[in-house]
Amino acid sequence: MKPTPDEILAYIDSHSTPSSEQLDELVRETERSLGSPNMLSGPVVGRLLEFLIFALEARSVLEIGTFSGYSALAMAEGLPPDGHIVTLEIDERHAELARGAIAASPHAKRIEIVLGPALESLERLPGHFDFIFIDADKEHYVEYYEAVLPKLSEHGLIATDNTLWSGRVLDDADKSASTEAIRAFNTRVRNDPRARCVILPVRDGVTLIRRS
């Protein structure tokens, strides 16, 4: 019997270190308050981000797209004691829920939410960042990439979520704005002489990028 993708994902989830009770409660609260639980990074991606930050010993982390704060809190679990996360969010409702979750966590002093359009916020942020996570509106992925690449530290990594887009990147009939934007992003990064990349088939696809 060949397992289905959903069965494989369920097996991976059940055999990875489980999320904290706070993160599990945040998933439930996100669904109650905001809906769209599919917008959460989820436990496997969250654990991957934590591992990458831990392995890099990343002290400065930038996130584009806070949503309810799940990924920021997951990443904070991998930070060294002097590490700090700046997370950018445009939606006040999202930011309000994230603020509450972060304030109730052991990582409250190490996570800063910046409210406003991400591209405008990025213009004001100094670099460099050891780790950058992009998980916001797909139509601006290429612009976010171009804005953050100069802010990436020499040995830093960029991780970008949803780059397989539930397989829709393979469907030539899908001409929706988000799908086309993901395709354009994947092609831009693959052909950028400034960078090296690999797409991991984790959940909805996570692309890792470093400087060449």
- The pLDDT score that the predictor gives to residue 23 is 94
pLDDT(41) > 90: no
The pLDDT, as a whole number, for residue 164 is: 96
pLDDT of residue 211: 97
Residue-wise pLDDT tens digits, 50-88: 999 999 999 999 999 999 999 999 999 999 999 999 999
Range of the domain at 43: 5-211
Angle among Cα 211, 119, 158 to the nearest 5 degrees reads 25
Residue 143: give its domain's CATH number.
3.40.50.150
For residue 6, name the pLDDT band (cuts at 50, 70, 90).
Answer: confident
What's the domain count of the chain?
A: 1
pTM score of the predicted model: 0.95
CA nearest to 197, candidates 125, 149, 138, 126: 149
When pLDDT is averaged across residues 138-167 and rounded to a whole number, the result is 97
